[in-house]
Structure 1
């Protein structure tokens, strides 16, 4: 599991939630499989960074309650590979901080919300000392509900806003409706809430909206979470070698493919191509820009962008891509059965698929082994990878809330941000032992009631630093973390990494058509001249003006990343 990862996957227009939108169940639940894009946010057009931001950040105090088996390195998650022993769980919140306030929380929810008085909600409220009342809203239409609520005078005490919903008037509403938490959290003030103090500073910087610390973040690793996954068992049986360049990949793909036998090498590898050629991230608008030799350049203007698309097109043209991908039927859900059946051996997807595919095949297909390839440089050298933003979901407190309510919200967050291996973490992510989960051979598994009650609730308020733990498949946890560590060594932070940025509304839709154009080009439905013309049109219709706008932003604020 990746307990607090809200990850990005190959279609940033698609969001697939599971029993743990933010905190995937270690064994009983399924991790978040895909994520979304959308503009960054802020109070107005612009951002807060540099010295101004540093004044607002909470002091960072690393937690020492639990020691991970694999410490974070190069931006990776921390890893836990041991069996879970409930008797060894630590206590990270020794005294109840809540003072009994009633706190209403509006949050996106995927699935059927549990009863309001369920045992999970009751147990958490008793643990924290706060009466949290959930106002769950359909996650698939959350943006509509969010807009309506924030436009009204009836705003709940806490509102959860995913980054992909930060569009339209939502960013300005965040500033107008929600409290400045700086007086309670900036600098040493955060030490009253040790688990919040252990959240990395990058995630807090992402929580600055309109010149104030307003959000409680859900941190994530900044290392790319798109992994070229492959059938390790078949590779070993057939003697295939993991490729280390684009040419080697093509040669391998041709060797694997036998259409008559219904075996193809891969699905659409566009996102791996972007990685191999060092194309800046397309996950969020601001991450598409980077200063190169003193000039701000957008990802679609680079030679690498065109080269990556051209290489991907060659894969399709060579017939090594599964026909489903030709038709656009290669989502995470569609891919699973055919990957397990060996119809294709490689695909690029979210890191969480490494565990979820392993878990689903463990009984029915014990020989099945999935692993992650290291991303290769297109020419066989080291890759240049680009950091994704270190937090994507935020909880905000109504600016009309009394101090007592704000303090009680922070008491909730201090519990939900408890690290893996603590009693508070288990309570937040699993509920009540016996009622919501059981532990057998060191592996916690949710009961049927747990899968009803313990779903994307308290984890949405705040989360600990990125963590990966799979007591059922420790080798997978180790593999995932070590993959992040290796890839983190090649990861760069672009000029606007970690900043909350709101682009002017007139350019909101400027880049919307590129993703479809990319997909059409690599499948042979468009020509390179079409792509080049689209880039030229993008410049003339606002891209060059937008560059000037970002240039001014960078000159005034400096880069967020050192």
Structure 2
């Protein structure tokens, strides 16, 4: 077990990158437009420009630990050395907690540990707060969340992942949770140095209803979907990484030998969207941008159709592994990728490390690496930034000042940077009990695997971090890939804004992903997509455009 490939564990970082987190608010008011009293219905609040500056915490870069690779172009920070426990720094010299009790409801994947386990006890001692966990099944969390927020019995802290902000949950966030601005805005955050070191973009994403309500889990805004490939086989066969879509097609035909059970790739649609410069599909607001004086949605662009057509041609040419024809129901690609049945597939950057770790012992010659995304015509790619935070913790509006301060004491520990004692405690637990270190590589014990799971990291996290003491070359490769691709990445109009679409538009775009897959696999035609876009416009797309344009007119654009 190594430190996570980002500030969030890989399971969640993958979910965050692939889930559509935008959702509905009854009545059609965007979250960023409500201000003042949360129930006032006022429309003069914003999450951008000078009004946001009054709300946002001051940014004070941490100086306790210096990363080996600083963040650049929206990347994570990187650490490429072995872990030396004797060299760990202290970022919280004394507990800020006053011994009070705080209840936290959070999603949990797996079997929650007993409430009095050694990890929880050790963390609470470091923080100075008695945290009581109310863990809920992450797979059904949204239903539980809705029920709790509709009741009068709301815990002190509630964690809400972006992909669960559906139905009435966004409006409940505004009405049920506290404004943290009085404790964190401006220089006030300096009382909590690890929170002050969280990037400003992540805090901006934490403004709901015109007020700073969330404690964020930061993410890199550089692209997270990487065309992963078998570098060992490429080197052995003399294949070269392609630099255009035509070169990719030629390479794919060269690689493919169906009789020998080798195909070039899996479905390359996600990479095609990057190569052709298609606006992001990871969250609905990110799919909108200004072009030639008009606000357009990603499905209306020529680039979108061109990316689908190129992806379709790959299937038509027979270079795509047969499993990909099953679409979403295709099995885990890992085993067949390891066997060399296909050599390229696009996926979340976290798989760069996880595939490496899987094969390290049984397949020592195995080497996975990330291709740089190419521009479709051989030029530079034109990619779009992802949101800088996707999971948030909120404090009950009815919480007393003492409880709010206890929560911030928790967050100041969980947001400690990599290389500190607090980070190791948060992510690994107690040395000897929950993990051991050999040759600079921490490994969780059986007890650690049972107890040190998606808990405290959900309250707040440090700036996105990549650190793999077992495979430092992979950590370096991941961060440098983000930095190279981040140089070709732009922020679209609604980047960093916390926006929720009106309920009447909630399902308007739901069928496009399935239609994309049908077109790519030859079951539908490009003309079917053109008709679907026309229908989308008449069924509400044009009105939704006007709704987004009003937000843009009132708040300005984040585009650069």
**TM-score normalised to the size of structure 2?**
0.95
- Please give the secondary structure, in 2, of the residue aligned with 1:328: helix
Contact 2:7 2:462 in 1 (8 A): no
More displaced stretch, 38-47 vs 414-423: 38-47
Q: Quote the offset at 1:561 in angstroms.
A: 4.9
2:89 matches 1:104 = no
Q: Distance in 1 between matches of 2:75 and 2:386?
A: 12
Contact 1:41 1:501 in 2 (8 A): no
Q: In the alignment, what sits opposite 2:544?
A: 546
Q: Please give the residue correspondences for 1:76-87 in structure 2 after superposition, counting only pairs within 5 Å.
A: 76-87=75-86
| Equivalent residue in structure 2 for 1:458, among 433, 453, 456 | 456
| Equivalent residue in structure 2 for 1:518, among 516, 519, 522 | 516
Q: Please give the residue correspondences for 1:114-133 in structure 2 after superposition, counting only pairs within 5 Å.
A: 114-133=113-132
Q: Distance in 1 between matches of 2:236 and 2:298?
A: 39
Q: In the alignment, what sits opposite 1:222?
A: 221
Q: In the alignment, what sits opposite 2:354?
A: 356
Q: Distance in 2 between matches of 1:338 and 1:413?
A: 41
Change in Cα spacing, 1:425 to 1:6, as seen in structure 2 (3 Å) is closer
2:20 matches 1:37 = yes
Q: Quote the offset at 1:50 in angstroms.
A: 1.9
| Equivalent residue in structure 1 for 2:393, among 367, 392, 395 | 395
Q: In the alignment, what sits opposite 1:152?
A: 151
2:252 matches 1:283 = no
Q: In the alignment, what sits opposite 1:439?
A: 437
Q: In the alignment, what sits opposite 1:232?
A: 231
Q: Distance in 1 between matches of 2:294 and 2:95?
A: 53
Per-residue CA shift, 1:151-207, capped at 9, x if unaligned?
Answer: 000000000000001111000000110000000000000000000000000000000
Q: Distance in 1 between matches of 2:153 and 2:295?
A: 43
Stretches of structure 2 lacking an aligned partner (at least 5 in a row):
33-45
Per-residue CA shift, 1:247-294, capped at 9, x if unaligned?
Answer: 000000000000000000000000000000000000000000001121
Contact 2:31 2:208 in 1 (8 A): no
Q: Structure 1 residue runs of 4+, over 3 Å off?
A: 1-7, 31-35, 40-44
Structure 1 vs Structure 2 CA RMSD: 1.5
Q: Quote the offset at 1:35 in angstroms.
A: 4.2
Q: Distance in 2 between matches of 1:307 and 1:544?
A: 23
- Please give the secondary structure, in 2, of the residue aligned with 1:548: helix
Q: In the alignment, what sits opposite 1:141?
A: 140
Q: Quote the offset at 1:529 in angstroms.
A: 1.1
Change in Cα spacing, 1:374 to 1:337, as seen in structure 2 (3 Å) is same
**TM-score normalised to the size of structure 1?**
0.94
Q: Distance in 2 between matches of 1:59 and 1:383?
A: 34
Contact 1:265 1:321 in 2 (8 A): yes
Stretches of structure 1 lacking an aligned partner (at least 5 in a row):
8-15, 23-30
Q: Distance in 1 between matches of 2:70 and 2:348?
A: 21
Contact 1:5 1:32 in 2 (8 A): no
Q: Distance in 2 between matches of 1:532 and 1:277?
A: 18
Contact 2:229 2:344 in 1 (8 A): yes
| Equivalent residue in structure 1 for 2:467, among 469, 492, 509 | 469
Change in Cα spacing, 1:55 to 1:41, as seen in structure 2 (3 Å) is farther
Q: Quote the offset at 1:560 in angstroms.
A: 3.1
Contact 1:267 1:330 in 2 (8 A): no
